[in-house]
């Protein structure tokens, strides 16, 4: 009996070892952690550059694009700085800094180039399922804000990429553009608005699904849903062992990868720390949640056709810039206002309350505490937002829609963002940074994306940075250079410096994507 028992135990050990060896021997060129817009964008770009690359993608939820990429979890704006006032700050000397606006505008054009390439090749589409023309507008009240908006408009008129923008302080003119915003407004109030028709509304959730389907359909990417990456180990040969848990059967397997991209939204930071690469040290995260007011009255929705952005409150994060937005979500026209910011210790909408406290470690505790002390106004703002009453939310809405009624609007939870906290190279203190940041290992074997807005809109430009850092040698080859120019004709060039090229690019993008364009140099 003892012999039989020992034999069975030996067989079980051998079987277990064989399974472990089998798992370890499964090697892929690329592992994508997370099924959002960033991961699938990078996957598609790498597949186009080298169709033979083997890719494995792991998403903890039951579908791709359900966190920050989902339509209800973001503003859906094709962020091109056409209407977002936080990208054009007024400097101490009274001038308007347009540098960030031009950079973001060019980045969105790059995204449209790649989408146009895939649509033309019939790899994703139809374009109208994920991108639709929607005028972008800025609207302000009060003498000081009107003065600022006019200066912003005049500054942007010097930038070729902003051709076609209109400016008005005439209430009658503005009423013709956005009647809901003007109806019931005091005629004595000082108001101003800008409008540009080349703006878009983008459903990044649908786009994510289409990009993922293209990769799966190519036969070169294995997509596993309800699978959570929970750890990494560096191998002696420079590859990575990626530990992946099947959330349905609670079993963990190991995948060997030559390159790992962590694009898991708020979960990126704790995963990046588990790689133990030196470049990950010192980073922290500050989570910010949000809520929308969503219109339930079809007659009101039909009267508004624009994305109308105002000025953010002092100390508020970029994702909290108030806007009254026309959206096309799953083929249906919607009207949203917000987002109202809030605080949650979760790093993902589907995360856990322990995400923030668990993210503290020896290397980031100092910068996180310093950033917290330096951003007391932000903390105060978030607390005030959390305790807003329905009446106070309605009052905020009425600044943009004076005749708004509470019964026409429902409250809906928006997405969760994690803003980057890092060590400032100049002061060596901790700072809270809005925007996105790519972190890569020195050898290019790991890359991770931290941060938030305007991420999705600039996804292609951001993933180009990943490719430039992690596939430097391959990108210098004639084959990759030829292909990347096919994918992104403006690669390596600045559209703002070449109006003729910008016109050609915008015309092609607009034809492929079914959106509006205006020739640079033409009058409104």
pLDDT tens-digit readout, 216-225: 999 999 999 9
pLDDT in the model for residue 437:
85
pLDDT above 80 (res 402): yes
pLDDT tens-digit readout, 178-213: 999 999 999 999 999 999 999 999 999 999 999 999
pLDDT above 80 (res 250): yes
The winner for highest mean pLDDT among 100-104, 354-358, 520-524 is 100-104
Instruction: Give the phi and the psi of residue 511 in degrees, each rounded to 5.
Output: -65, -40
Give the helix/strand (H/E) hosting 269: helix 268-275
Nearest to 329 by CA among 112, 129, 77: 129
Cβ atoms 416, 287 nearer than 8 A: yes
Give the other-Cβ count within 10 Å of 494's Cβ: 12
pLDDT-derived band at 357 (thresholds 50, 70, 90) equals low
pLDDT tens-digit readout, 314-348: 555 555 578 999 999 988 999 999 888 777 776 66
Listed in sequence order, the DSSP H helices in 375-430 are 376-386, 390-398
pLDDT-derived band at 378 (thresholds 50, 70, 90) equals low
pLDDT above 70 (res 24): no
Name the percent of the chain lying above pLDDT 90: 66
> Which stretch of 289-303, 321-335, 356-370, 423-437 has the lowest confidence by average pLDDT?
356-370
Which bin fits 74, alpha (ψ -120 to 50), beta or left (φ > 0)? beta
pLDDT tens-digit readout, 141-186: 999 999 999 999 999 999 999 999 999 999 999 999 999 999 999 9
The span from the CA of 223 to the CA of 152, in Å, is 45
Listed in sequence order, the DSSP H helices in 33-86 are 37-49
The token pair that represents 345 in the structure block: 């210790």
Cβ atoms 28, 257 nearer than 8 A: yes
Listed in sequence order, the DSSP H helices in 157-230 are 171-177, 179-182, 204-218
pLDDT in the model for residue 316:
52
pLDDT in the model for residue 23:
46
Burial of 365 (0-12, 13-18, 19+ CB in 10 A): middle
pLDDT in the model for residue 290:
80
The span from the CA of 87 to the CA of 211, in Å, is 29
pLDDT in the model for residue 1:
41
Averaged pLDDT score across all residues of the chain: 86
pTM, rounded to two decimals = 0.88
The token pair that represents 322 in the structure block: 């108030």
């Amino acid at each position: 009996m003892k012999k039989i028992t020992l034999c069975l135990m030996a067989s079980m050990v051998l079987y277990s070892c064989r399974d472990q060896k089998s798992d370890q021997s499964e090697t892929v060129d690329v592992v994508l952690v997370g099924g959002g817009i960033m991961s699938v964008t990078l996957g598609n770009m790498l597949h186009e550059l080298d169709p033979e690359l083997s890719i494995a993608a792991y998403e903890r939820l039951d579908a791709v694009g359900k966190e920050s990429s989902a339509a209800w979890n973001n503003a859906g704006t094709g962020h091109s700085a056409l209407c977002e006032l936080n990208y054009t700050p007024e400097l101490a000397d009274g001038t308007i800094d347009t540098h960030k606006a031009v950079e973001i505008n060019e980045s969105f054009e790059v995204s449209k180039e790649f989408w146009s390439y895939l649509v033309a090749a019939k790899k994703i589409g139809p374009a109208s399922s994920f991108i639709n023309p929607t005028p972008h507008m800025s609207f302000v009240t009060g003498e000081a804000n009107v003065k600022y908006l006019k200066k912003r408009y005049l500054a942007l008129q010097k930038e070729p990429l902003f051709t076609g923008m209109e400016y008005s302080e005439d209430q009658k003119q503005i009423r013709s553009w956005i009647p809901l915003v003007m109806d019931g407004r005091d005629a004595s109030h000082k108001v101003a608005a800008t409008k540009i028709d080349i703006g878009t509304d983008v459903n990044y959730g649908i786009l994510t699904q289409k990009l993922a389907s293209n990769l799966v359909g190519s036969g070169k990417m294995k997509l596993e849903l309800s699978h959570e990456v929970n750890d990494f180990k560096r191998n002696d040969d420079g590859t990575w062992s990626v530990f992946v848990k099947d959330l349905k059967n609670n079993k963990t397997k190991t995948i060997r990868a030559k390159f790992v991209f962590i694009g898991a939204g708020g979960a990126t930071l704790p995963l990046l720390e588990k790689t133990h690469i030196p470049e990950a040290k010192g980073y922290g995260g500050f989570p910010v949640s949000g809520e929308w007011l969503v219109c339930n009255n079809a007659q009101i929705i039909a009267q508004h056709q624009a994305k109308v952005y105002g000025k953010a409150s002092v100390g508020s994060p970029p994702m909290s810039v108030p806007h009254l937005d026309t959206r096309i979500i799953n083929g249906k026209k919607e009207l949203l206002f917000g987002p109202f910011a809030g605080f949650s210790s979760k790093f993902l909408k589907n995360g856990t309350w322990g995400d923030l406290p668990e993210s503290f470690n020896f290397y980031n505790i100092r910068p996180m505490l310093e950033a917290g002390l330096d951003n007391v106004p932000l903390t105060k703002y978030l607390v005030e937002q959390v305790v807003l009453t329905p009446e106070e939310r309605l009052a905020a809405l009425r600044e943009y829609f004076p005749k708004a009624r509470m019964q026409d609007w429902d409250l809906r939870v928006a997405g969760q963002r994690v803003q980057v906290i890092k060590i400032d190279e100049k002061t060596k203190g901790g700072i809270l940074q809005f925007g996105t940041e790519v972190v890569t290992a020195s050898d290019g074997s790991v890359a991770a994306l931290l941060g938030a807005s305007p991420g999705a809109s600039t996804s292609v430009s951001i993933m180009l940075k990943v490719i430039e850092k992690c596939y430097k040698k391959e990108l210098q080859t004639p084959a990759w250079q030829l292909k990347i120019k096919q994918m992104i004709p403006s690669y390596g060039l600045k559209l703002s410096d070449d109006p003729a090229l910008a016109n050609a690019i915008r015309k092609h993008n607009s034809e492929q994507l079914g959106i509006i364009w205006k020739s640079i140099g033409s009058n409104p």
